[in-house]
Protein backbone atom coordinates (compact mmCIF):
# COMPACT_ATOMS: atom_id res chain seq x y z
CA UNK A 1 0.00 0.00 0.00
CA UNK A 2 1.24 3.49 -0.72
CA UNK A 3 -0.08 6.99 -0.39
CA UNK A 4 0.49 9.66 -3.00
CA UNK A 5 -0.16 13.36 -2.43
CA UNK A 6 -0.41 15.50 -5.51
CA UNK A 7 -1.86 18.86 -6.51
CA UNK A 8 -5.21 18.42 -8.24
CA UNK A 9 -4.62 18.48 -12.00
CA UNK A 10 -6.58 21.25 -13.65
CA UNK A 11 -6.32 20.49 -17.37
CA UNK A 12 -4.88 17.04 -17.59
CA UNK A 13 -6.12 13.55 -16.95
CA UNK A 14 -5.58 12.02 -13.55
CA UNK A 15 -5.37 8.48 -14.96
CA UNK A 16 -1.97 6.82 -14.84
CA UNK A 17 -1.83 3.48 -16.70
CA UNK A 18 0.95 2.15 -14.44
CA UNK A 19 -0.94 2.84 -11.23
CA UNK A 20 -3.04 0.20 -9.44
CA UNK A 21 -6.68 1.09 -8.90
CA UNK A 22 -6.97 3.41 -5.88
CA UNK A 23 -8.42 1.82 -2.76
CA UNK A 24 -9.31 5.21 -1.45
CA UNK A 25 -8.91 8.85 -2.30
CA UNK A 26 -9.23 12.14 -0.46
CA UNK A 27 -9.91 15.38 -2.25
CA UNK A 28 -9.27 18.66 -0.46
CA UNK A 29 -10.33 21.17 -3.12
CA UNK A 30 -9.81 24.24 -0.93
CA UNK A 31 -6.12 23.26 -0.69
CA UNK A 32 -5.80 21.90 -4.27
CA UNK A 33 -4.74 18.52 -2.93
CA UNK A 34 -5.55 14.98 -3.93
CA UNK A 35 -4.52 11.94 -1.92
CA UNK A 36 -4.60 8.52 -3.57
CA UNK A 37 -4.03 5.32 -1.66
CA UNK A 38 -3.32 2.41 -3.97
CA UNK A 39 -2.99 -1.26 -3.17
CA UNK A 40 -1.92 -4.16 -5.32
CA UNK A 41 -3.96 -6.73 -3.40
CA UNK A 42 -7.71 -7.10 -2.90
CA UNK A 43 -9.39 -4.17 -1.13
CA UNK A 44 -10.87 -5.33 2.17
CA UNK A 45 -12.63 -3.59 5.05
CA UNK A 46 -9.36 -3.67 7.00
CA UNK A 47 -7.54 -2.16 4.04
CA UNK A 48 -10.02 0.73 3.81
CA UNK A 49 -9.60 1.64 7.48
CA UNK A 50 -5.82 1.19 7.29
CA UNK A 51 -5.78 3.65 4.38
CA UNK A 52 -8.00 6.06 6.31
CA UNK A 53 -5.68 5.89 9.30
CA UNK A 54 -2.56 6.34 7.17
CA UNK A 55 -4.11 9.34 5.44
CA UNK A 56 -5.30 10.91 8.69
CA UNK A 57 -1.87 10.48 10.28
CA UNK A 58 -0.32 12.33 7.34
CA UNK A 59 -2.60 15.39 7.65
CA UNK A 60 -3.86 15.54 11.22
CA UNK A 61 -1.28 18.09 12.41
CA UNK A 62 -2.54 20.50 9.74
CA UNK A 63 -6.15 19.93 10.77
CA UNK A 64 -5.94 19.83 14.57
CA UNK A 65 -9.22 21.76 14.83
CA UNK A 66 -11.16 19.12 12.87
CA UNK A 67 -13.33 16.92 15.09
CA UNK A 68 -15.71 15.47 12.47
CA UNK A 69 -14.87 13.52 9.31
CA UNK A 70 -17.55 12.96 6.68
CA UNK A 71 -16.75 9.89 4.64
CA UNK A 72 -18.49 9.29 1.32
CA UNK A 73 -18.57 5.54 0.73
CA UNK A 74 -19.72 3.63 -2.33
CA UNK A 75 -21.43 0.91 -0.22
CA UNK A 76 -19.33 -1.73 -1.92
CA UNK A 77 -18.91 -5.24 -0.55
CA UNK A 78 -16.05 -4.14 1.72
CA UNK A 79 -17.95 -1.41 3.55
CA UNK A 80 -21.65 -2.23 3.53
CA UNK A 81 -23.43 -1.44 6.79
CA UNK A 82 -23.79 -5.12 7.69
CA UNK A 83 -19.98 -5.57 7.58
CA UNK A 84 -19.24 -5.56 11.30
CA UNK A 85 -15.45 -5.74 10.83
CA UNK A 86 -15.50 -2.48 8.88
CA UNK A 87 -17.73 -0.76 11.44
CA UNK A 88 -15.66 -2.06 14.38
CA UNK A 89 -12.45 -0.76 12.80
CA UNK A 90 -14.08 2.58 11.96
CA UNK A 91 -15.31 3.00 15.55
CA UNK A 92 -11.83 2.14 16.86
CA UNK A 93 -10.31 4.72 14.49
CA UNK A 94 -12.77 7.39 15.67
CA UNK A 95 -12.06 6.60 19.32
CA UNK A 96 -8.29 6.57 18.85
CA UNK A 97 -8.24 10.01 17.24
CA UNK A 98 -11.22 11.39 19.22
CA UNK A 99 -13.19 12.12 16.05
CA UNK A 100 -16.81 11.94 15.05
CA UNK A 101 -17.16 9.99 11.82
CA UNK A 102 -20.24 10.50 9.66
CA UNK A 103 -20.90 8.10 6.80
CA UNK A 104 -22.42 9.75 3.74
Judged against a pLDDT cut of 50, whether residue 9 lies above it is answered with: no
Whether residue 12 is contained in a domain is answered as: no
**Residue 50, pLDDT score:** 86
Whether residue 96 is contained in a domain is answered as: yes
Judged against a pLDDT cut of 70, whether residue 27 lies above it is answered with: yes
Q: Which residue has the higher pLDDT, 49 or 38?
A: 49
Maximum separation of any 2 CA atoms in the chain, in Å: 41
- Domain of residue 63 covers 2-7+20-103
Our count of domains for the chain comes to 1
Orientation of helix 84-96 relative to helix 45-59, angle to 10°: 20
Q: Is 55 helix (H, G, I), strand (E, B) or coil?
A: helix
Whether residue 95 is contained in a domain is answered as: yes
Whether residue 41 is contained in a domain is answered as: yes
Whether residue 93 is contained in a domain is answered as: yes
Judged against a pLDDT cut of 70, whether residue 90 lies above it is answered with: yes
- Give the span between the Cα atoms of 34 and 23, in whole angstroms: 14
Q: Are β-strands 68-71 and 100-103 bridged in parallel, bridged antiparallel, or unpaired?
A: parallel
Asked whether the whole model's pTM tops 0.85, one would answer: no
Whether residue 99 is contained in a domain is answered as: yes
Amino acid sequence: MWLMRQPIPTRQSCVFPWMPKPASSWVLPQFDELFLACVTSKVTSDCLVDVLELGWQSVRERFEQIRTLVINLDNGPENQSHRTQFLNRLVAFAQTYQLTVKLA
